[in-house]
Amino acid sequence: MTGLMPWQEATVGSGLMLSAQSSLRVDPGILERQVQAAIDSVPDEMRNRFGSPNGDWTAITLLYRNQKGISVPQPPLAHIPVLTDLLRDAGIDPFGLHITRQPPGVDLKWHFDHQSLHLDICRLLLPVRVPADAFTWIGHEKVAYPPGTLWTGDFAMPHQVENQTDQERIVIAIDSAVTPAIRALFPASLSSDGARRSTLAQEGINALLAARASPLICPVKNS
């Protein structure tokens, strides 16, 4: 493959599955209406603007786990019963829930996280609004999933989310410990070969960190 960054090349020819949709679906129209109601319930000044280059809001917290390990739902979550029903029925007990927003023309630059089905923590994503030309790079693969489709990826690999469109991209991020129930929602290939995944992820991370240290490479997002 041509045109790849050095940190993407680690997964080329690996045969590893880097992302997949789950067996779960929700009605995208209902999801969008309920998420918009949740957004509308939060005053603009209460919305998170982390990572926003122009001051636009980027996240609204729906649930977090406090220092005592207790999950604390936030008022906006009450507006999204389609989400709470999905989590309950699938046996997912998240420690974090957020509405995430990628403003038009904004990319989430290359970064990496300790989140994958072969690790102890994962991030599940439920798209709400996805512009046609918005997508995610995971290693060398370019992926996008439609609204209402729960999916995840090997986010321990360097990844980047691009939205060079004139529309916002809204996704619900679900952070959870990895459990047999969660793994069962996805193809087994997405969590298999953990040692090799970790080796290739580290190769990609090393290449990304080297690029960050080089003045000849455009800056990329720190993890």
- Which of 43-52, 58-67, 106-115, 169-178 bottoms out in mean pLDDT, i.e. has the lowest? 43-52
Lookup result for tokens 């992302």: 19
Quote the pLDDT of residue 212: 92
85 pLDDT more than 80: yes
Contact 126, 169 (CB under 8 A): no
Q: How far apart are CA 34 and CA 76, in angstroms?
A: 10
**What residue ranges do the domains of the chain occupy?**
6-213
Query: 129 pairs with which residues across the strands?
Result: 170
| The pLDDT value given to residue 147 | 99
CA 210, 214, 217, 222: dihedral to nearest 10 degrees?
A: 60
DSSP 187: -
| Phi, psi (degrees; rounded to nearest 5) at 62 | -105, -30
Which of 56-60, 78-82, 200-204 is predicted with the least confidence, judged by mean pLDDT?
Answer: 56-60
At 8-52, the pLDDT tens digits run 999 999 999 999 999 999 999 999 999 999 999 999 888 999 877
Residue 52's pLDDT is what?
73
Cα(47)–Cα(45) distance, rounded to whole angstroms?
A: 6
- How far apart, in whole angstroms, are the C-alpha atoms of residue 9 and residue 150? 27
Rounded CA-CA distance 155/19 in Å is 9
Q: What is the CATH number of domain 6-213?
A: 2.60.120.330
Spatial neighbors of 27 by CB under 8 A, at least 6 apart, are 82, 148
Q: 138-172, pLDDT tens digit by residue?
A: 999 999 999 999 999 999 999 999 999 999 999 99
> From start to end of the chain, where are the E strands?
19-25, 59-65, 71-73, 96-102, 108-111, 121-129, 135-138, 141-143, 149-153, 159-162, 169-177
How far from 121 is each of 95, 96, 159, 179, 183, CA to CA, in Å?
10, 11, 17, 9, 11
> Which amino acid is residue 115, in one-letter code?
Q
Q: What's 46's DSSP letter?
A: G
Please choose, from the candidates 210, 216, 201, 193, the residue with its C-alpha nearest in 3D space to the C-alpha of residue 16: 193
